[in-house]
């Protein structure tokens, strides 16, 4: 692919990311993506066959980016959840597209060799290995545990605005005003502590 073609493809993906994040999968429109990418629909289709291929490419990029930026360390899973929390604050589009995909899920299973399924399977196996090594509570189903850890990392993004407003109004307990943490930092600390308690082996 020539540098010019690569530049056009990059613009299309950036425009598609914003379109999917703003309008969801069903609401995204190819003509708006092409216009935002400063190209034609015909040119866009030369790179991507349809909207579904665009979305799959974006999801694969996001998963690869998260894997590079936030590797899962079985020896420090609460820290992993905190770093994943930070990633979603820095990249809100990642959370928004994941939320849209969950809302518009068709229920169709992925092929067993699908790269995204393989990536999540690897995380589940890391959790299983940590359980077998006695690092974390072995009473949890590892797939369910992964879901709970991801939910903790996304909890600020999912928080109802009313609860977020209350969190902003509340004074942190036992903290003098000059040292009071902002609501986001307080919530992050709570997320890491919740993960620590969730993962702690019994006894």
What is the reported pLDDT for 181?
Answer: 63
Whole-model pTM: value is 0.85
Task: Give the model confidence (pLDDT) of 56-111 as tens digits.
Answer: 999 999 999 999 999 999 999 999 999 999 999 999 898 899 889 888 888 888 89
What is the reported pLDDT for 49?
Answer: 94
Question: Residue ranges per domain, the chain?
Answer: 1-57, 70-199
Confidence band, pLDDT 50/70/90 cuts, at residue 170:
low
Number of H helices, E strands in the chain: 11, 0
What is the reported pLDDT for 171?
Answer: 52
- In the chain, DSSP assigns E strands to none
Confidence band, pLDDT 50/70/90 cuts, at residue 166:
confident
Same fold for the pair 1-57 and 70-199: no
Architecture of the domain whose range is 70-199 = Orthogonal Bundle (1.10)
Burial letters 52-86, b for 16+ CB under 10 A, else e: eebbebbbeebbeebeeebebebeebbebbbbbbe
> Percent of the chain having pLDDT more than 70?
91
Q: Which two tokens stand for residue 63?
A: 């998963």
Q: What is the CATH number of domain 1-57?
A: 1.10.10.60
Task: Give the model confidence (pLDDT) of 19-30 as tens digits.
Answer: 999 999 999 999
Q: Which two tokens stand for residue 10?
A: 């990059």
Confidence band, pLDDT 50/70/90 cuts, at residue 178:
very low
What is the reported pLDDT for 188?
Answer: 94
Contact 116, 59 (CB under 8 A): yes
What is the reported pLDDT for 180?
Answer: 54
What is the reported pLDDT for 195?
Answer: 98
Q: Which two tokens stand for residue 168?
A: 């902003």
105 closest CA partner among 59, 37, 145, 66 = 59
- pLDDT > 90? residue 147: yes
């Amino acid at each position: 692919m020539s540098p010019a073609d690569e530049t056009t493809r990059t613009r299309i993906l950036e425009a598609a990311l914003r379109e999917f994040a703003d309008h969801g999968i069903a609401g995204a429109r190819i003509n708006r993506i092409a216009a935002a990418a400063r190209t034609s629909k015909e040119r866009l289709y030369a790179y991507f066959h349809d909207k579904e291929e665009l979305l799959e490419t974006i999801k694969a990029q996001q998963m690869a980016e998260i894997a590079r930026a936030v590797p899962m360390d079985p020896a420090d899973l609460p820290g992993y959840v905190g770093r994943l929390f930070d990633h979603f604050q820095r990249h809100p589009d990642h959370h928004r597209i994941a939320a849209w995909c969950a809302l518009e899920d068709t229920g169709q299973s992925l092929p067993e060799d699908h790269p995204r399924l393989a990536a999540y399977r690897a995380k589940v196996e890391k959790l299983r290995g940590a359980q077998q090594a006695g690092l974390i509570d072995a009473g949890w189903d590892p797939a369910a545990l992964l879901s709970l850890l991801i939910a903790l990392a996304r909890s600020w993004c999912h928080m109802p605005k009313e609860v977020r407003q209350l969190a902003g109004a509340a004074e942190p307990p036992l903290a003098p005003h000059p040292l009071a943490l902002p609501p986001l930092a307080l919530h992050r600390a709570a997320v890491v502590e919740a993960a620590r308690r969730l993962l702690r082996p019994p006894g």
